[in-house]
Structure 1
Amino acid sequence: MCDSCATAAEATTADGTERGGGLSRRGLMAGLGLGFGLAAVGLPTGATTASAATASAKNGKWANPALGRFPAGGHYGAPRGGAAHAGQDVSNSTGTGVYAAAAGTVVRRSWGGGLTGRTGNALVLSHGGGQYTYYGHLSAYRVALNATVAAGQRIGDMGATGNVTGPHLHFETHSGGLGVTVAPVAFLAARGVDLGGGWPRIDPGASGATVVVTQQLMTQRGYGLVADGQYGTVSSDAVKRFQNAKGLVADGQVGPATWPHLVYTLRQGSGGSHVRALQTALNRRSAGLAVDGTFGAVTTTAVRTYQGVNRLVVDGEAGPVTWQALVG
């Protein structure tokens, strides 16, 4: 974990979530003997009205920045020599992929990211509206300063540069201006992302690549949706019918209860809209595939590459563990 990565003047969330409270460690990789993290306890359920859906922050625009485990003492607010830990540490091997948590612009690319108390190679992304994310201790950069990035795009590699005890990503969320940190786990959970590695949550009114993935999977399930990336009334009504048919709460939120029923286990030779969904999800993680619905050698290589970079079992098969990592 970080030996520094602290500041004495950090802001907390409104309810002080996680300030000095610690977090249970949640592993992600079955191949390393670690189980995928459960969804955060106490998250609100999906919106059930159009107005609530429109206001939901679970809008498909955010992504999990890295796979790994939460090390002891690496939580937001942990003591750091009279100051407080400014982010959440996510531990994994050097070279593990690091991804943009949301679309934005690279505004810092330097040692420590230009912030007090930080060390190591770092990136800072601006997402507009006073929101920023910070990625520290990188072993490699994969984007340039001032580059525009998409949510889920690979931007760097996990490492152990700076004052650390081992390789990990030091991840921070800033809201209200750069330097005003908030608890990353709670911040992302409010936006439908489980930093511990669980399935994401998207509500009616969402848009983007994860919505396209959902629509393509729903089409394979027989619901014939247009994959336009807009989670409007037609798509949400179809999801509610699907949920009802599966005996689930028919709230229209695509979350931890719905995803396992929606995805397929796919391998080379598969074909159809579910493969298009897989290719779309891989492209969200920088694979650069043609979305043709054919699971051939190129898609197999992309799956294996993604699994290897993220320390999953490298078998070229897109099962639940790989899907969960891709869409998270």
Structure 2
Amino acid sequence: MSIELNEADLVSVSVGGAIAHPGFPGLPAEPYRLAADGTPFLLPTFGGIVYNVSVGDRAFGWAADCIHPGVSIKGADDLKNRGLNVFSCLGNTAVVMTGQAQGAKGVVTGKSGRFSEQVIVHFPVEVRRKMAVGDQIVVRALGTGMEIRGHAAVACKGLSPSLLKALPKKVEDGVLKIGVVATVPAHLVGAGAGLTSEGGSLHIQTTDRAEVEKAGLSSLRLGDVVAIENTDSRYNHGYLRGALGIGIVGQTDGPRAGYGPGLTVIMTAPKGELGSFAAPGTNIATLLALEP
């Protein structure tokens, strides 16, 4: 179905960052983290260039802690990085400005970190092999301020017009419904709750594997479109009966309590104005025709 947007009024602006280096706390802190059962672990975590995990791959089963598929970028300081994280929208084009991959184009596919730390960008694997930590990337940001005509209560968050148009959707009894792979129950919403929804991510808690399986979430893939029930993300992420969010799986699972696949919330409404319907296989790798 077609929808009417205020697309002609939106401003396209450049925001940029460099490929971020994976990091650990400074010494004398240990590099180990604690799993939900108290076991210390040392696994690759978010940041850098990931060569063998891409949008469309499984979200579970990696020997990793909330890995980002593709490339993670970050602004030069907190103010610049905040601008990068807020204004970048899923589906925006990103261009490599320096290094051996200069001129290559990618696509923004997620945002990470409880405190809006990094933006996740997909590049084809062959491009990633030419890239280096520190390479500068510019995002052609477009989408902030987007409104859907006739659905004023539905807030768009970090969502580009191109991705919104590609999402499976329909209107029933005045409710805009989005096709999703699965629905995340409110009691599995973990890290990120209570924080701002202008950037960053909201995690699925996965310590209770039986509950994850019961909810039909164990086979999620990176890039899957999901609904998040009873969660209001207009300003901050929080529980609200009847609210609904739509998110994109942007990060892999991890062993820490309260964490799991990270979701980038792209739409939200507080009182039933936004709905969902089953659309198996709905993934941004296909919707945006991402090159492997």
Give the TM-score category using the shorter length.
under 0.3
TM-score when normalising by structure 2: 0.27
- Which of 1 and 2 has higher RCO (CA within 8 Å, sep 6+)? 2
Point out the structure with the larger strand share: 2
Structure whose CA Rg is larger: 1
TM-score when normalising by structure 1: 0.25
